[in-house]
Amino acid sequence: MSDKTFSLEVGSDGVAIITMDVPGETMNTLRDSFATEVRDMLGQITQDSGIKGVVFTSGKPNSFIAGADIAMLDACQSPEDAYQISRGAQQLFDELANLSVPVVAAIHGPCLGGGLELALACDYRISSDSDKTVLGVPEVQLGLLPGGGGTQRLPRLVGVARALDMMLSGRQLRPRQAKKFGLVEETVPLSVLVEVAKGYALKGKRKKVKPNLKGAEKLLESSAFGRKVIYDQAGKKVLAKTQGNYPAPLKIIDCVRTGMEKSASAGYEAEARHFGDLVATSESEALRSIFFATTEMKKESGAGEAEPLPVNKAMVLGGGLMGGGIASVTALKAKVPARIKDIAEPGLQNALAYTYKQVDKRVKKKQLTPVQRDKAMSLLSTTTRYDGIKDVDIVVEAVFEDLGLKHQMVKDVEAHCGEHTIFASNTSSLPIGQIAEAASRPDKVIGLHYFSPVEKMPLVEVIAHKGTSPETIATTVAFARKQGKTPIVVQDGAGFYVNRILALYMNEAANLLLEGEPIEALDKALVKFGFPVGPVTLLDEVGIDVGAKISPILEGELGERFAAPAAFAKLLADERKGRKNGKGFYRYDGKGKGRKPVDESVYQVLGLTPQARLTGSELAERCVVQMLNEAVRCLEEGIIASARDGDIGAIFGIGFPPFLGGPFRYIDAMGADKLVSILQGYQARFGDRFEPAPTLLAMAESGDRFHS
């Protein structure tokens, strides 16, 4: 195998093909160490007068360039080191752009981050029309910004507003969207991609391109005043969304503003300086840790050396909201045929409509064609009986939280399916070991806990009881990954991991509410801390009745610290279930302007008069330390295998602030001794529900950390 990453081949037509193929890797990523090799190749092209054009392509079957190698950033000792990496990339891409002959990027597969920045330095970009091809600059998701000239080239190609949207959201474009935005010239079948690119390479250097803007967009971007409006509005949206917790988005806006309003050279300098500063921030370090953790987890089976069995056909029991969502990701993401069973036709029709609505929305956005939509829908079938399921490899049960009903489901599946069939329960509270008691093949019984809405929430908990076989665990983990999920393997126990740490957080919010703290203040404090929604809003969304049902289970299994405040009984007596019946802590009658207003009558139901006594940081602290303490207890008890899994579970399952890196990284940053001091202070005031976990006490003495 060659140790070279780039190869150059000149055809009889005078077109040079540069092929990038990083040895030993499935995906191409850019490294600063490649610069010498690329410059040597550009020198060869410059010296060969017979070369009329260049096509840059990938030697990987399903990857153009997936971005820069993030690991090289961890080697930076200072912001200056990262600044030099950015300047080096800018200069190299400038040399590519300044070649005397046209350069065309022939893109198939992910073209992201530094990969898109390289493509932007080319005269033309041609992409395959494959589902595997996506284009974007997702650096903001790592607390960074495009550092190879992307903040300067992208606005000049697609317009300021579109470029800011791409960079601030990190969203990826499908080929048809990329063509619509002017990011690529053509989208073509993979079979002719390089040939079409060669045709463009013989067209001559491209003249300066203006963004394809019309109407109000064109009017705004044509003047300094209009662009100022765009920058100001983008800044307001960023602060509303991030609460100031993430520095990268505002730096992105500054780079674009500097380059467009001053000069490109000033913009490049601002980009490199901001890139260097961002690499050194705790926020980027935390976000990069999440990236490395999830990348590492993709290589694991979840069960040691056990190998997963293939899942060629699945079944979902229950056509409700969860069942419909599970069937949807099975068909659309995993591309596995799924048979949905429900006791009544309306449930089945609702499940099909659930998937159709999602896939049809993608057609309207031009992400899919109608033919692709219909092909996806053809993977779903329905039944009210146990027929056509003998060859099903996995059954995911999503029926009511009733142990007797789940026992019957286990028996029915074992009677009608093959001996190899896995029974996976989507229970959120019942121990899997209890469900497995009804099974003749308990080694095939496992928990597969999804979060609502299924199509949006990235986490699933794979719950193994003591008798679950390693092969069953490995197969279920692999199946969840095919569905586009990030699975963590947790051990059996009430609440598992995510709901268990969430319960104490929610209980403490309820205690604060019953002490008279206003609902808006509670929610605002935790959103400011970094959660996507506040705890009271979350309870309304999940369902007050659901919380009331889960709390006694957790208290019975885990002890008095899980005793729910007395609020639930009063709320349910007033028929308040939350959003589902339009009656909860907030009003759902549509009469409030903008944000949903608090239903002030709820205070009367609870027998209290709201009065703010604590600051937002004090409110957040009391709720969050309960979550942190319980996460440590879960690690102590072996519910989660590692601090890494605990961090990923909290971030992807309940939206723990990603910029903090997860509960365990946050404890490391805070110091176990400080957390113990806070908990003991609350314990003295409010009782033993704040008693520090033994591991925390030991770490406070030793100074140990969860992550090295």
Distance (Å, whole) CA 284 – CA 73? 10
pLDDT of residue 349: 93
Average pLDDT, the chain: 94
Question: Which distant-in-sequence residues (6+ apart) come within 8 Å of 285 by Cβ?
Answer: 143, 661
Given a cut of 90, whether residue 139 has pLDDT beyond it is yes
Where, residue-wise, is CATH 3.40.50.720 in the chain?
314-492
**What percentage of the chain carries pLDDT values higher than 90?**
85
**What percentage of the chain carries pLDDT values higher than 70?**
99
pLDDT of residue 593: 55
User: The tokens of 86 are what?
Assistant: 């950015």
> What CATH fold (topology level) applies to the domain 314-492?
Rossmann fold (3.40.50)
What is the pLDDT averaged over residues 72-84?
95
Top-level class of domain 6-280: alpha beta
pLDDT of residue 428: 83
* Residues 558-568: tens digit of each pLDDT: 999 999 888 88
Edge-to-edge strand list for the sheet holding 459-464? 380-383, 338-341, 314-317, 394-397, 422-425, 445-450, 459-464, 486-491
User: The tokens of 27 are what?
Assistant: 């995906």
pLDDT of residue 567: 81
* Residues 412-451: tens digit of each pLDDT: 999 999 999 999 999 887 899 999 999 999 999 999 999 9
Given a cut of 50, whether residue 1 has pLDDT beyond it is no
* Residues 315-361: tens digit of each pLDDT: 999 998 899 999 999 999 999 999 999 999 998 999 999 899 988 98
* Higher pLDDT, residue 593 or 172: 172
State the pLDDT confidence band at 172, using cuts at 50, 70 and 90.
very high
* Residues 625-680: tens digit of each pLDDT: 999 999 999 999 999 999 999 999 999 999 999 999 999 999 999 999 999 999 99
Q: What is the dihedral of CA 308, 314, 315, 321, to 10 degrees?
A: 90
Question: Which distant-in-sequence residues (6+ apart) come within 8 Å of 98 by Cβ?
Answer: none
Given a cut of 50, whether residue 230 has pLDDT beyond it is yes
Cβ contact 328:361 at 8 Å: no
Catalytic positions: 461
Where, residue-wise, is CATH 1.10.1040.50 in the chain?
499-702
DSSP states along 285-332: HHHHHHHHHHHHHTT--SSTTPPPPP---EEEE--SHHHHHHHHHHHH
User: Given the structure tokens 């909201």, which residue do they identify?
Assistant: 321
Distance (Å, whole) CA 57 – CA 20? 6
Where, residue-wise, is CATH 3.90.226.10 in the chain?
6-280
Distance (Å, whole) CA 407 – CA 397? 11
Question: Which distant-in-sequence residues (6+ apart) come within 8 Å of 423 by Cβ?
Answer: 395, 397, 409, 410, 413, 414, 439, 444, 445, 446
pLDDT of residue 594: 56
What is the pLDDT averaged over residues 397-422?
93
Cα distances (Å, whole numbers) of residue 248 to 242, 461, 588, 691: 10, 31, 35, 38
Strands 186-188 and 134-136: unpaired
Residue 126's SS3 state is strand
What is the pLDDT averaged over residues 574-601?
85
Given a cut of 90, whether residue 545 has pLDDT beyond it is no
pLDDT of residue 681: 98
Domain 499-702, second-level architecture: Orthogonal Bundle (1.10)
Neighbours of 581 (CB within 10 A): 13
